[in-house]
Amino acid sequence: MSDSGIIGDQGFIALVNQLPIACILTCIRNNTVMAVNPAFEQLLGWPGERLVNHTIEQLPIWLSAEQRAEFFRELTRTGSLNQSETCFQCENGRVKHCLVYVEQIMVGDEACRLGLLHDISDRIRAEEALKRSEAKFTALFMDSPEPYILFDKGSAAISQINRRFTEVFGYALEEVIGKTAVEIGLWRYPEKRPPVITRLVRERCLRDEPVDFVTRDGRILNCEVSSNFIQVGKDRSTLSCFKDVTAQVTIEGRIKHQAYHDALTDLPNRLLLHDRLQQHLALGERHGLAFAVLFFDLDHFKRINDSLGHGLGDAVLREVSRRLCTGVRKTDTVARLGGDEFVVLLTGLTGDLAQMVEHTRVQAQELLEALAAPMHMEGHSLQLNCSIGIALSGEHGSTPEDLLKHADTALHGV
């Protein structure tokens, strides 16, 4: 992945580089391009060095200043993009039609936007060709690199499938013709079909609708379905394209997990903890549910790193993570903020203030005792002491920042 050198998380870059879809990473702070992956360079033909360290507005990918301005108006209005159809200028002068997805993420301490470009140029050309010629339709339908089904619009029965559909899903035409997709067991969750069909009828088309399907041999495929109503001779039909994005969904899931979890312990990180705090504050407002924030700091942990090495220090942090997770319920949250700082979110506190304080005190004491138990690692017997600060929702703040600040202040005795 061509990058500017300011991304510290090489694991994140490695994951993005594996994506078969074009990706571009920009810094929100200065709107510059931080990195593009090989798929992006291959899609548009522009080498990474022509793009990285330039502002997004300076890139040679825009067809016109007006198009560029409209793109950023929409992005500024919503903060993200989902299936925004946009054309981009290639290095060789050609134009690519793409569906653009943009989400805000954190890479290290930097707020960024990750843009994904789905090339739909072939599909656009195919759809335009279908409107011009039935003969061309048959050829394009059968030889398309994507799986296609032709449904009878009235009965929803399958009237034709193309070769690629047989290759991907394993069904021959004689096995499916005259049957619906539900009847052959294609839908993984048949109960999700009615609202999708309702949306198709209402909007007259579908664009990259995420649906899980089951192949003839039982494999699960994550697909994006695009459908249009068309006229084939005298028949009114529904043409549906099934794009297999299983590999992409898997890798994107790993990227999303990494963005919200600590790499060493796999605990929720500061970003996910903030989200959980927001959720529980909202629940508290609606249903009167209280929770406690327990802020843990390992005393003199630096000595372990300095005297016994960072490898042993990492093992200690993972053991602290395990003990904290073991000592709370599955509905609670254990997070690592970084270094030797951990936070436990105790949820579902009930009773009056005194009862909630007592419950939190007892739980905190149990966790401190669990952490104080000797750790036997690599021939060393270690015993940790921890400092703890506590904040109660409704008593010590009404925002995630206030609660964490109060707990941190209490920990340091300020």
What span, in angstroms and rounded, lies between the C-alpha atoms of 11 and 97?
30
What span, in angstroms and rounded, lies between the C-alpha atoms of 371 and 363?
13
Instruction: Decide: 225 and 206 in contact? Cβ < 8 Å.
Output: yes
What span, in angstroms and rounded, lies between the C-alpha atoms of 44 and 100?
14
Contacts for 138 with CB less than 8 Å, ≥ 6 apart? none
The domain segmentation of the chain, as residue ranges, is 2-119, 123-247, 261-412
CA-CA-CA-CA torsion for 242, 246, 248, 253, nearest 10 degrees?
130
At residue 382, the pLDDT reads 86
Instruction: Decide: 358 and 258 in contact? Cβ < 8 Å.
Output: no
Candidate CATH numbers 3.40.605.10, 2.30.29.30, 3.40.50.720, 3.30.450.20; the one for domain 123-247: 3.30.450.20
At residue 18, the pLDDT reads 83
At residue 108, the pLDDT reads 79
Instruction: Decide: 345 and 330 in contact? Cβ < 8 Å.
Output: no
**Same topology for domains 123-247 and 261-412, yes or no?**
no
Backbone φ and ψ for 82, nearest 5 degrees, come out as -135, 110
Class of domain 2-119: alpha beta
At residue 138, the pLDDT reads 79
At residue 19, the pLDDT reads 85
At residue 413, the pLDDT reads 60
Strand duo 2-3 + 22-27: pairing: unpaired
At residue 194, the pLDDT reads 94
Residues paired with residue 388 on neighbouring β-strands, in sequence order: 296
What span, in angstroms and rounded, lies between the C-alpha atoms of 83 and 85?
6
Fold of the domain spanning 261-412: Alpha-Beta Plaits (3.30.70)
Divide the 414 residues of the chain into consecutive groups of 10 and give the mean pLDDT of each group. Answer: 52 80 92 92 93 92 92 87 91 94 87 92 81 73 92 92 96 94 95 93 92 96 94 84 92 88 93 94 87 93 82 91 94 93 93 91 94 86 89 90 92 62
At residue 126, the pLDDT reads 79
